[in-house]
Every structure is written in C-alpha cells, then in structure tokens.
Amino acid sequence: MGFPKDFIWGAATASYQIEGAAYEDGKGLSIWDVFCRRPGAVFEGHTGDVACDHYHRFREDVALMKELGIKAYRFSISWPRILPEGTGRINEKGMKFYEELAEELLQAGITPYATLFHWDYPYALYKRGGWLNPESPIWFEEYVRIVAERLGDKIHHFFTFNEPQCFIGMGFNGKEHAPNLPCSNQDLLQMAHNVLLAHGRAVKILRDTIPHCMVGYAPTGSSFYPATEKPEDIEAARLATFSAGKESWPGGIPWWSDPVLLGQYPEDGLKAMKEDMPSIAPGDMELIAQPLDFYGQNIYNSRPVESDGNGSWRLVPLPAGYPRTAIDWPITPECLYWLPKFLYERYKTPILITENGMSCHDAVSLDGKVHDPNRIDFLHRYLRNLRRASEEGVKVCGYFQWSFMDNFEWCRGYDERFGMVYVDYTTQKRTPKDSFYDYREIIRSNGESL
C-alpha cells in the first residue's frame, strides 16, 4: 500500500533561523535579536543577523527546492518584519519579501505552507508584557489579518503556531530560549491560555479572509512508545503520552492540543494545576477549538515505557550505548509510528509531520561533497515507521523534513547541522548533501525506495 498518492512531501525552515537581514529594510527587533546579544546566551556568541542570508538568496534556495522535488515548503513569517512595532504600521519592504517568496515558490510548482509564528516575537510587544498581556491575542489577530489580506492570494495553507511548548515552556521557565525569563506556573498558564486564544482568533481571521484556505497547528510535546507490543504496554504508552499531571507541564501534548482539538483542558491537568489555572471566560474554549483541516506535530524522538502492572506506566531505560544524534537526542524511529497513531485516535484529525530530522557532524569532504549516511539511515528508519502507520489506517497526509538547509539552531547557534543542504556560513555557498539526493528519490518514488 505505502503512502497515499497525494502524500505531501516537503521540507521546513523558520524565519529567524535562515533569513538574516535582521536590521535591514525596516524590520523591527525580535526577542531573539535582543537575546543573542546577551553574553553567554548563545553558543560562541552566534546571532541570526546574517544566518543563511535567505532574505537575499531566496531565489537560489527555491531553485534548490525545485531540484529536490519537494511538493510543499513550510516556512515562517517574521512578525516584526511585517509589523516592526508588532501592531500598527506595515513595513512594505518586509511584506514584499514574502510576496516575492510565495510567487517564486508557486512558479517552481511548490505549495507554500506558512507558519505565522515561529518564536521571533516582536520586542516592542514583549516590552508591553508580551503573551502575559490580555491584549496579546488581539495583537496577534491584527498581524494575521494583515498577512491574510496581503498574502492570501498566494498562500492558502497556514499553521498558526510552532511549538508553544518551547516558546512558552523554554522561554519563560528559566530554560535556554529567548527571552529566558523565569516565571511562575501561574504566569506560564496565563500566557498559554492567551496563546491558545490567539490561535483561535487567527483561525477565524484566516477563514473569514481567504476562501477555502487550509489551517493547522504545529505543536510538539513529550511522547512515549511501548517497550513491547503487548496490549498492556501499548496502553501504558498511550496513558503516558496523554498524561497532564503537574510533572508534564508545560511540555505535555494534551495541555496544548486538547483545548484546540477537543475544546477543553485535560481533566488531570486541571486537577493538578487548579491553584494556578487562569480565569477562563465564557466562550474562550469555543474560540480556541476552531475546526482545523490538519494537525501538525513536530516529532524527533520518544521514550519507551511499559505497564507497571497497576494500570499505570514506568519508563524503560535505553540500553547503554544507544544511538544518538549529534545534538545528543536518542534515535527512536518507533515514535513516527506510535505517536501519529495515538494522535489520530484521540483527535481524529489528519496528521502532518511538520518537523522531523537529525543533526549530524557534517563536513565538506575532500571530494567537495557532503556525505551524511547517518541522516539517510535515520530518514529511512523513521519514514518506514510512518509508512506503517499510514498503511494501518492513520490518516497521515504529509511529511516535512527538518530542515531544508543548515541554519541558526537557537541557543546552539551554528554548532548543529540539521539540513539537507550544507551552508558555509562564511561564503554562503550551498552544497546539497547525499541526503538531499536520497530524499529526492524517496519523493520521486512516493516512499517506495525506503
């Protein structure tokens, strides 16, 4: 059976990670522009000031995408490039960039999939309280309305947010992401609720403005797979994946996906965090739970669990020497079978894998090529598991490889390489890696070459 004939093969990037031009053509500051200048915040003081210079080289990059053969390209729009102050005045040069990018993609036969927010929050709005400000959902709605009105003739596929677990949970929980501002659970939960309200407002604006548009959401989250395929272990993995106790906040999947797709916060989460939960106004949950066309999930790895024999679960340690990526994440291909299966059972919405990939120790070899056999092996192992899910009835409609090209990897700067295209950050030369050509064959064969 394999993948469906209309399966969406794509690749993904994000604005701050590749665009550069951080201070050009009227763009406003983002929290990442400011954070990167904090001593010790980012590996070796790296910044996204230039990144991959995609802002100036997008036509070259789209030509490579066409050579790769992807059917869809998931990129993000920089809010402060469109609205330098977060609201109000539109930056026409910034808008022109996205208009021209979308047009270039369409001419190459590639469908644009735009993520409306991938972490580069306007610094001007951060100074006004950011996501903690009760006006923040309205600010986001204004931005989305402008994008829809100006780009809706070219872009018909949208994701509202990328990984709120990270930009809230790691940006405001004393972790390693911008703005690295430790907050209480009470404030974190209020920010989360405002983000979810902003999501609902964005979906409504998109549907009101762009007829027949397709709208989704791209969270991530902690997930688990069964150590064996015994029924009790499968149930243990399902329970662990959708647990919303205090220990799962803020990274747990149901905290961010139950409100959007089921219209309610998880009951065990409400019980565990009841002292810190925000006030939920009449109509809030209905607004948050706007119908979606597809549900994106960023999936890189998972953890095995087994039944504890008492209706719950326990972690199973990975063996000593278990394979890991260059960024030290475990390689667990099973997650691309079990998590889509669990998500589709629970949310009954078509699944898009919006990010999946591997950081490798890539280098240009003496022959001028970049040989990355580990990434090729990773791709085949993970995609075989995704194919299994598809063949067993999980409605998986697409896969976006992270990433199209090497880029600025947030607090790790340029120390990690996730791309299928190697970027020399000194010369900006692009070199397709061996995985680029392998993925091209996977696309051509619709997965039959795996």
What residues form DSSP beta bridges with 353? 297, 399
Given a contact cutoff of 8 angstroms between Cβ atoms, the answer to whether 439 and 377 are in contact is no
Q: Name the residue with tokens 């994008």.
A: 147
Residue 424's nearest CA partner among 378, 379, 370, 376 is 370
The amino acid occupying position 68 is L
| DSSP annotation string for 358-393 | --B-----TTS-B--HHHHHHHHHHHHHHHHHHHTT
Annotated catalytic, 391?
no
* 323-337 exposure pattern, b = at least 16 Cβ within 10 A, e = fewer: eebbeeeebbbbbbb
| DSSP annotation string for 108-146 | TT-EEEEEEESS--BHHHHTTTGGGSTTHHHHHHHHHHH
Would you tell me how many other CB atoms lie within 10 Å of the CB of residue 135?
Answer: 12
Q: Strands 157-162 and 111-117: what pairing?
A: parallel
Residue 63's nearest CA partner among 392, 408, 444, 405 is 405
| DSSP annotation string for 302-359 | -EEEEE-SSSSEEE-PPPTT--B-TTS-B--TTHHHHHHHHHHHHH-S-EEEEE----
State how far the alpha carbon of 244 is from the alpha carbons of 251, 253, 266, in Å: 9, 8, 6
The amino acid occupying position 33 is D
- Would you call 99 helix, strand, or coil by DSSP? helix
As given in the structure block, the two tokens for residue 176 are: 């390693």
Given a contact cutoff of 8 angstroms between Cβ atoms, the answer to whether 200 and 289 are in contact is yes
Given a contact cutoff of 8 angstroms between Cβ atoms, the answer to whether 218 and 165 are in contact is no
Residue 229's nearest CA partner among 237, 218, 240 is 237
Q: Which member of 19, 104, 306, 355 is catalytic? A: 355
- Rounded Cα distance between 313 and 243, Å, is 10
- Would you call 233 helix, strand, or coil by DSSP? helix
Annotated catalytic, 355?
yes
Q: Which member of 163, 306, 334, 409 is catalytic? A: 163
As given in the structure block, the two tokens for residue 376 are: 């090729």
Determine whether 305 is exposed, middle or buried from the number of CB atoms within 10 Å of its CB (0-12, 13-18, 19+): buried
H or E stretch at 157: strand 157-162
**421: phi then psi, degrees, rounded to nearest 5:** -120, 125
Residues designated as active site: 163, 355
